[in-house]
Amino acid sequence: MATIIFYQKGGCVTNARQIRSLTAAGHRVIAKDILKEPWRTEELRSFFGHTPVASWFNRAAPRIKSGDVNPDTIDAASALALMLGDPLLIRRPLIDADGERCAGFDREPVLSLLGRTAPDDLEGCSREGTLMDCPSK
């Protein structure tokens, strides 16, 4: 089984559920706080691979919901600069599974780690559709 570095936002119910699914599949998960990590541009960029820049963003981030940041109009360099300044903008979780990296829970290597060929309901926010908002920090 894999050792997985799992960058999450502390207290996120969805991230906790995702960690439980990985450990139930027999993997060792080392959880880290995405907001406290001292990110460098090259390291952060390595989680996004060849995915479109707009998919790098956490669409539930306050600055995106307010319209302050529009992920659909930002280039890679600007996106990374914004994320380094405001880690809430980074799509979670960031996964490092024995050197294979991704952002989000709906792609490889996560699907293989869980023995799936398609994503399930572990990606979306557990609190969407409720009146409860996650604390921003």
Give the integer Cα–Cα distance in Å for 116 and 130: 29
Q: Is residue 7 within 8 Å of residue 92, measured between CB atoms?
A: yes
**pLDDT of amino acid 115:** 80
Which residues are the active-site residues?
12
pTM: 0.83
What is the distance of C-alpha 53 from the center of its chain? Answer: 14
Confidence of residue 130 (pLDDT cuts 50, 70, 90): very low
Tens digit of each residue's pLDDT (9 = 90 or more) over 77-129? 999 999 999 999 999 999 999 899 999 988 778 888 888 654 555 555 545 44
**pLDDT of amino acid 122:** 52
Give the integer Cα–Cα distance in Å for 10 and 47: 19
Rounded (5°) CA angle 122-124-125: 110
Hey, what domains does the chain have and what are their CATH numbers?
Answer: 3-113 (3.40.30.10)
**Measured between alpha carbons, how far apart are the two ends of the chain, in Å?**
32
Confidence of residue 132 (pLDDT cuts 50, 70, 90): very low
Give the integer Cα–Cα distance in Å for 52 and 33: 24
Q: In the structure encoding, which two tokens stand for residue 64, read together?
A: 């995106």
